[in-house]
Amino acid sequence: MRSFNRAVTRRIGALEDSYLSRGRPLGEARLIFEIGPDGAGLGALRSRLGLDSGYLSRMLRSLEAQGLVSVDKLDGDARNRHATLTDKGRAEHAAYDALSDELAASVLKPLSSSAQDRLVAAMAEVEHLLAAASVTVGEGDASSADAQQCMRLYVDELAARFEEGFDTSKGNSVRGSEFVRPHGAFLIARLDGSPVGCGAVRMLDAATAEIKRMWVSPEARGLGVASRMLHELEAIARQLGATMVCLDTNRALKEAQSLYRRDGYEEVAPYNDNPFADHWYSKRL
């Protein structure tokens, strides 16, 4: 990995003081690109680029001094600031865009057509795996803004996919308090700081736990997020004293059924009267 990183940073000019000969280092050039023609909130920039507030502020002040960026408060709230490119900044963004295309072409040009395809495919695979490695999964408050955002998207997707629609008030209903230790727990998956998935576990009795509300955003599917959350929920169930874990799912969720079967879940007789469930599974921990 270190050898790969050294090769890439050297080849793309990341070590140069003047990235792509525009007079500023790669960090500032990347920030101009991320702000983009539509602008971006400072919180989003911090999460997207993995920067601390101090370093981001210093780069923004430098870009403001160069007349490229304007940072303003939204709705007069000092905590909610937004960065926007000036006319000069948009011109600089366009220049970087064109030069970046030229750099990419210069890397590909010496290679045969098949070698170009292999390199691009390998880069896509590396990007995919790095994204998977960047996902964090941790316990959170089921009433938090991130949890509620995931739950809204979860309900919307199930309502669209289920033939009979979906209404949480008619299903195997749960209360948020059931997802608080020692009764249970709620997980939130995040990619670059943004919530991209959720899952929960609750104790049905002293030895049996039930997994609920498993959902992954379309943008994060294929990164192994669902499997990670499932394993973490099982670990929490063990900590809470469960020796058996169960769950139910709808016939429309084929990918969920495949995940559960791959992970050792066996189909069992219905253990609840959830009208939206067509399959019930359990697994001994």
Whether 239 maps to a domain, the answer reads yes
Residue 11, domain extent? 2-110
SS3 of 188-251: EEEECCEEEEEEEEEECCCCEEEEEEEEECHHHCCCCHHHHHHHHHHHHHHHCCCCEEEEEECC
Is residue 280 domain-shared with residue 152, that is, in the same domain?
yes
Is residue 192 domain-shared with residue 103, that is, in the same domain?
no
Quickly count: other Cβ atoms within 10 Å of residue 268's Cβ: 13
Whether 118 maps to a domain, the answer reads no
Whether 225 maps to a domain, the answer reads yes
**β-sheet bridge partners, residue 73:** 81
Whether 236 maps to a domain, the answer reads yes
Is residue 142 domain-shared with residue 209, that is, in the same domain?
yes
Is residue 141 domain-shared with residue 104, that is, in the same domain?
no
Is residue 156 domain-shared with residue 272, that is, in the same domain?
yes
What is the rounded distance in angstroms from the CA atom of residue 236 to the CA atom of residue 202?
A: 10
- Domain with residue 13: its CATH number is 1.10.10.10
Is residue 150 domain-shared with residue 242, that is, in the same domain?
yes
- Domain with residue 190: its CATH number is 3.40.630.30
Domain boundary among 76, 110, 144: 110
134-169 burial: b if 16+ Cβ within 10 Å, else e: ebebeebebeeebbeebbebbeebbeeebeeebeee
Whether 148 maps to a domain, the answer reads yes
Is residue 153 domain-shared with residue 76, that is, in the same domain?
no
Total tally of structural domains belonging to the chain: 2
Is residue 8 domain-shared with residue 57, that is, in the same domain?
yes
**Which has the closest alpha carbon to 67: 98, 48, 88?**
88
Is residue 258 domain-shared with residue 178, that is, in the same domain?
yes
Measuring CA to CA, how many Å separate 137 from each of 20, 195, 198, 251?
37, 10, 9, 27
How far does Cα 201 stand from its chain's mean position? 21
Q: 3-state class of 276 per DSSP?
A: coil
Is residue 140 domain-shared with residue 266, that is, in the same domain?
yes
DSSP assignments along 106-129, one per residue:
HHHTTS-HHHHHHHHHHHHHHHHH
Is residue 54 domain-shared with residue 149, that is, in the same domain?
no
20-59 burial: b if 16+ Cβ within 10 Å, else e: beeebbbbbbbbbeebeeebbebebbbeeeebeeeebeeb
Interhelix angle 225-239/254-262, rounded to 10 degrees, is 50
Whether 123 maps to a domain, the answer reads no
Diameter over CA atoms, the chain: 68
What is residue 158's predicted lDDT score, i.e. its pLDDT?
A: 95
Domain boundary among 110, 125, 152: 110
Whether 266 maps to a domain, the answer reads yes
Whether 131 maps to a domain, the answer reads no
What does the pLDDT profile of the chain (285 residues) look like in tens digits?
A: 999 999 999 999 999 999 999 999 999 999 999 999 999 999 999 988 989 999 999 999 999 999 999 999 877 665 789 999 999 999 999 999 999 999 999 999 999 999 999 999 999 999 999 999 999 999 999 999 999 999 999 999 999 999 999 987 776 666 778 999 999 999 999 998 899 999 999 999 999 999 999 999 999 999 999 999 999 999 999 999 999 999 999 999 999 999 999 999 999 999 999 999 999 999 999
Is residue 98 domain-shared with residue 167, that is, in the same domain?
no
